[in-house]
Amino acid sequence: MSHPSPRVRIPSGTGNVAVIDRVHQALESLGLAEMNGVVEARLEHAAREEQAYGEFLAELLECEAGARRERYLRTRMRLAHLPALKTLEQFDFSFQPSIDERQIRELQTLRFVSEASNVILLGPPGVGKTHLAIALAVEAVRAGYGAYFITAHDLITDLGRATRENRLDRRLRVGCPLGASPRKCW
């Protein structure tokens, strides 16, 4: 989480302190925390470098947008309940030659998501199924999709409990797009 930098006096002219206070108040009221934390340093840099107004504004907005994207990704990763953070770049395909790297790279495109297709990773323990599942979930979150990690055992247990409690239909809708038939999600 970013913390506002200490107040710095902007050099030259009268009324600058009042203006910077107004800028901070406006940024705070708009919820632009990252911009609020860096605006004074960016203003000083822009003045020193004689930066064009548009360039200054673009950099300031990109700073806020980047911070928001990072917060969004951290939140989505947390909501995905991933047991660890694994990527496809970390996967050692030479360790498990039975895995078709081209097929995994195709899955990395996430075309299966837009086609509403299922991906099932089967194999004995220790071959990298969990690593690949997590890595594909990370790719999906980075692309703006939601993801949720659950083991097959926990899923069966959860659905069994929902069945016994007569709430299976409601439980199936949790993972489905609004209005979609639960049967199409599984």
For the chain, the structural domain boundaries read 16-79, 101-185
Q: The whole model's pTM is what?
A: 0.68
Please state, for a pLDDT cut of 90, what percent of the chain lies above it: 66
Q: Supply the pLDDT for residue 46.
A: 93
- How confident is the model over 95-109, as pLDDT tens digits? 888 899 999 999 999
For residues 67 and 79, what is the distance between their CA atoms, to the nearest angstrom? Answer: 18
* Best CA proximity match to 9, nearest among 37, 34, 41: 41
Please state, for a pLDDT cut of 70, what percent of the chain lies above it: 84
- Running DSSP on this structure, what letter comes out for residue 51? -
Dihedral sign, Cα of residue 87, residue 91, residue 97, residue 98: negative
Phi, then psi, of 177 in degrees rounded to 5: -60, 150
Q: What CATH number was assigned to the domain covering residues 101-185?
A: 3.40.50.300
Instruction: Report the Cα–Cα distance between both ends of the chain, in Å, rounded.
Output: 37
- Name residues whose C-beta falls within 8 Å of residue 141's C-beta, 6 or more positions apart in sequence: 73, 76, 77, 80, 147
When the pLDDT of each residue in the chain is averaged and rounded to a whole number, the result is 86
> Count of residues for the chain?
186
Question: Secondary structure of the chain: what % helix, strand, coil (to 5)?
Answer: 60, 0, 40
- Name residues whose C-beta falls within 8 Å of residue 43's C-beta, 6 or more positions apart in sequence: 10, 20, 56
pLDDT grade for 174, boundaries at 50, 70 and 90: low
Contact 59, 49 (CB under 8 A): no
Name the residue with tokens 């997590």: 134
Q: Please determine, for residue 88, whether its predicted confidence score (pLDDT) is greater than 70.
A: yes
